[in-house]
């Protein structure tokens, strides 16, 4: 036999173009792409199908330990959900609690991730930026391949103040790591929440009122300024609308290494969607919140122009009908106590394809760029991930662009009890999903084995190389004149 597997007769969609081609796989890698002859142990007939690189989701919360509400996906259920939606690589959060050793957290997280059926890498979430963490633990953790750090500018118990954010930025630059940021003005949204609750406006539908766009825009502007001052590449997570996207565009126009991510829910949901009977709106509580139709149109525009380059899920699921989930503070509890976050791993590709390609907003190569190639590049995994090319891992999605599926909780294959997309008609769906040449999803069924997924250590890469540009002739991070 010439190959382990031959995918014949499909249209290969790359980040640049699309063309009819066969794809040959051996030893878990793509070995040839083109008009191929030769024999294979297995042949997949992909006529009428798109053949695309597996989705790379660089914002996924799985198996996060919690002292409060509990996330309902571990790496077993979470990776099954990823596979079911055509995602073959996830980047998850090794999350430091206050007072904890980051090194211990990462060690424990490796154990948790062992049951994954898709490949995975880690962001390091720093909530306690002590000298011990930044100076003693971080260098070896980054060197081991954890080349991205996550910081929160809001949320009690996890947020860093500006002084701590600056220390993390400096440490990231010294150690060659990307900094990913949750940007919202903490004091403003805390105060807003207090005023709404005091006024008796406590229902889930008031959550977007408590987190107005101005709070996000200000924080995006601030983190860009700090990153510019220290010359550190950053990615702003979950850009929810026009004003924040404008800040990213302005930063990019100044030549800064500032990238923006948005999520499928910002393209599909608006603030009014939380206005549901009873407590149902809690199913759509996430931060920053859903905005307006005009914001959605602006995000599509920024995506087409390449300013917003990455679409993630921000899969952060808690169960709805559960005192450890959305009902943590009871159905009468104020929106300020509803855990933020929604499930979205399995829905990411089908919903974006439907809204984007099927409805004519973007072409298939742009889709591939947004969900696979760009995220892989941004976190230093390309071309191993995010490409259909000889030498790349054989992470492949055979995609039926015409298949219509009604989304339900069952087809999400996750650990949660709801999907925000219940009843949504997706047109465009994965038929078969391979991780390093092994089938993990086949015709509606998750068939991958727990433990097939591998940890992806990341070496330094071009995107995280600083510009070497400071506001003055002094490089404050290395304390030298440039
Ligand atoms: O609402 C959200 N996004 N929850 C998950 C944690 C985060 O902010 O990314
Ligand atoms: Zn966030
Ligand atoms: Zn998140």
Q: Residue 66's pLDDT is what?
A: 87
Q: Considering the domain boundaries, does residue 19 fall inside one? A: no
Q: Considering the domain boundaries, does residue 447 fall inside one? A: no
Q: Considering the domain boundaries, does residue 299 fall inside one? A: yes
- Ligand that comes closest to the CA of residue 317: 1
Q: How far apart are CA 344 and CA 297, in angstroms?
A: 21
> Is 287 near ligand 1, meaning CB less than 6 Å away?
yes
Q: Considering the domain boundaries, does residue 439 fall inside one? A: no
- Ligand that comes closest to the CA of residue 284: 1
Q: What six digits make up the tokens of 239?
A: 């850009």
Helices then strands, each counted (H, E), the chain: 15, 19
Whose structure tokens read 């914001």? 295
Q: Residue 117's pLDDT is what?
A: 98
Nearest to 385 by CA among 434, 352, 451, 446: 434
| Ligand 2 centroid to residue 437 C-alpha, Å | 33
Q: Are strands 445-446 and 438-442 parallel, antiparallel or unpaired?
A: antiparallel
Using omega within 30 degrees of 0 as the cis cutoff, is the peptide bond preceding 288 cis? yes
Q: Considering the domain boundaries, does residue 194 fall inside one? A: yes
Map residue 336 onto helix, strand or coil: helix
Chain centroid to Cα 8, Å, comes to: 31
Q: Considering the domain boundaries, does residue 6 fall inside one? A: no
Q: What are the backbone angles phi and psi of residue 429, rounded to the nearest 5°?
A: -155, 150
User: How far apart, in Å, are the Cα atoms of 55 and each of 97, 204, 435?
Assistant: 29, 32, 10
Q: Considering the domain boundaries, does residue 437 fall inside one? A: no
Which structural domain, as residue segments, surrounds residue 294? 54-371+458-464
Residue of 57, 59, 60, 61 to test ligand 1 pocket, by largest number of atoms within 8 Å of CB? 61
Can you give the pLDDT of all 482 residues of the chain as single tens digits?
999 999 999 999 999 999 999 999 999 999 999 999 999 999 999 999 999 999 999 999 999 998 899 999 999 999 999 999 999 999 999 999 999 999 999 999 999 999 999 999 999 999 999 999 999 999 999 999 999 999 999 999 999 999 999 999 999 999 999 999 999 999 999 999 999 999 999 999 999 999 999 999 999 999 999 999 999 999 999 999 999 999 999 999 999 999 999 999 999 999 999 999 999 999 999 999 999 999 999 999 999 999 999 999 999 999 999 999 999 999 989 999 999 999 999 999 999 999 999 999 999 999 999 999 999 999 999 999 999 999 999 999 999 999 999 999 999 999 999 999 999 999 999 999 999 999 999 999 999 999 999 999 999 999 999 999 999 999 999 999 99
> Is 182 near ligand 1, meaning CB less than 6 Å away?
yes
Q: How far apart are CA 272 and CA 353, in angstroms?
A: 24
What number does the ligand 1 atom closest to the CA of 287 have? 1
> Is 341 near ligand 1, meaning CB less than 6 Å away?
yes
CATH code: domain of residue 263: 3.20.20.140
Count up the domains in the chain and report the number. 1
Q: Residue 67's pLDDT is what?
A: 82
Residues 6+ apart with CB under 8 A from 197: 334, 336
Q: Considering the domain boundaries, does residue 471 fall inside one? A: no
| Ligand 3 centroid to residue 267 C-alpha, Å | 16
- Residue whose Cα lies nearest atom 4 of ligand 1: it is 341
């Amino acid at each position: 036999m010439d190959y382990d597997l031959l995918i014949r007769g499909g249209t290969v969609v790359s980040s640049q173009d699309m063309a009819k081609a066969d794809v040959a796989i051996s030893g878990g890698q793509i070995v040839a792409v083109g008009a191929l002859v030769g024999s294979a142990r297995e042949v997949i007939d992909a006529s009428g199908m798109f053949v695309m690189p597996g989705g790379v989701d660089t914002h996924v919360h799985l198996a996060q330990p919690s002292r409060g509400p509990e996330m309902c996906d571990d790496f077993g259920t979470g990776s099954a959900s990823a596979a079911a939606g055509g995602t073959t690589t996830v980047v998850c959060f090794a999350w430091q609690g206050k007072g904890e050793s980051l090194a211990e957290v990462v060690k424990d997280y490796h154990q948790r991730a062992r049951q994954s059926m898709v490949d995975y890498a880690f962001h390091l979430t720093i909530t306690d930026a002590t000298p011990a963490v930044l100076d003693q633990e971080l260098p070896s953790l980054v060197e081991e391949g954890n080349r991205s750090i996550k910081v929160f500018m809001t949320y009690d118990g996890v947020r860093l103040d500006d002084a701590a954010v600056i220390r993390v930025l400096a440490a990231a630059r010294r150690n060659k790591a990307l900094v990913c940021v949750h940007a919202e003005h903490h004091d403003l949204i805390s105060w807003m929440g207090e005023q709404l609750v005091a006024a008796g406006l406590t229902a889930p539908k008031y959550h977007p009122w408590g987190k107005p766009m101005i709070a996000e825009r200000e924080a995006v502007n601030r983190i860009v300024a700090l990153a510019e001052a220290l010359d550190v590449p950053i990615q702003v997570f979950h850009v929810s609308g026009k004003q924040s996207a404008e800040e990213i565009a302005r930063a990019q126009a100044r030549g800064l290494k500032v990238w923006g991510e948005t999520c499928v829910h910002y393209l599909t949901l608006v603030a009014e969607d939380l206005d549901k009977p009873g407590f149902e709106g809690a199913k759509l509580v996430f931060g920053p919140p859903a905005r307006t139709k005009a914001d959605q149109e602006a995000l599509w525009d920024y995506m087409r122009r390449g300013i917003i380059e990455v679409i993630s899920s921000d899969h952060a699921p808690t169960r709805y009908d559960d005192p450890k989930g959305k009902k943590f503070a009871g159905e009468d509890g104020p929106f300020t106590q509803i855990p933020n976050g929604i499930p979205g791993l399995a829905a990411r590709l089908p919903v974006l394809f439907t809204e984007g390609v099927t409805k004519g907003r973007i072409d298939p190569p742009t889709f591939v760029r947004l969900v696979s190639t760009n995220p892989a590049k941004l976190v230093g995994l390309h071309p191993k991930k995010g490409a259909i090319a000889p030498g790349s891992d054989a992470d492949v999605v055979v995609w039926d662009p015409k298949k219509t599926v009604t989304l339900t909780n069952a087809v999400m294959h996750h650990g949660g009890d709801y999907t925000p997309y219940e009843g949504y008609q997706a047109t465009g769906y994965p038929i078969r999903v391979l991780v390093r040449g092994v089938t993990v999803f086949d015709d509606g069924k998750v068939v991958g084995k727990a433990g097939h997924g591998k940890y992806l250590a990341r070496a330094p890469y071009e995107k995280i190389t600083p510009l070497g540009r400071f506001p003055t002739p002094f490089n404050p991070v290395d304390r030298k004149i440039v």
